[in-house]
Amino acid sequence: MPPPLIAVTGRRRSAAGLHSGPPALDALEIDAYFTGYATHVAAAGGLPLHVPRDTDAGAVMDRADALLLTGGNDVDPARYGAVPDAHTSALEPARDAAEVALLAAARERGCPVLAICRGIQLVNVAWGGTLHLHLPEHADTRWHDVTLAPGSVLAGLHGTAARVNSLHHQGVDRVASGLAVTATAPDGQVEGLEADGLVAVQWHPEQLDDVPQPEFRWLVGAARPGPP
């Protein structure tokens, strides 16, 4: 059988400073994601497929076997009834909309979803939850421990505790209905959420040294079976 096709989301940026061509290219935009996502997917036996935001979500998930929601800037606070503050990073409403559509399409088709950092926040908001606008104590902490709920997918991957990297300044506040908290930081901050076929983490497994990380092995292993 061919390797499962894993749809990987990314971000859109100005090309200025990111190319070696003539200055006229500065006016263009690029779609990109950090290479660790694809590296871990491929190492786990999946075939990573970068999905630009201009694609039809249903058509993508008709072909893909699983979805990976990657990290990035803040989810638009307007999506959960909040107002941006001084700490809010550059917003990408078009990315929010595209990823919410991909998430819905994946769930409708029974495709497993792994959501990382911004991804866990987007999942919670898309399902009706809210976010903390700024968590300075987490933004300034590079590593910390998390406690994992017994019986959860994450506990099955890591045991009841793990040491993770912390690269976020926002986080889950009110947890959406239908999502179970399966990982917490020592201060009680939500670090993992799960639902049937969905695992979301606040940390960045794609940046850790052991390749592939267990979350990616779970995603590829759970991917919807494709044609022979």
The residues assigned a catalytic role are 117, 204, 206
Amino acid at 181: V
Amino acid at 103: L
Alpha helices, DSSP H only, in the chain?
A: 35-43, 57-63, 93-108, 118-126, 136-139, 153-158, 214-222
Region label for 81, one of left (φ > 0), alpha (ψ between -120 and 50) or beta (otherwise): left
Q: What angle separates helix 93-108 from helix 118-126, to the nearest 10 degrees?
A: 70
Please give the C-alpha separations between residue 25 and each of 7, 29, 35, 62, 90, in angstroms, as whole numbers: 28, 8, 23, 34, 22
3-state SS assignment for residue 211: coil
CA distance 192 to 110: 20
Structure tokens at 24: 């006229």
Amino acid at 69: L
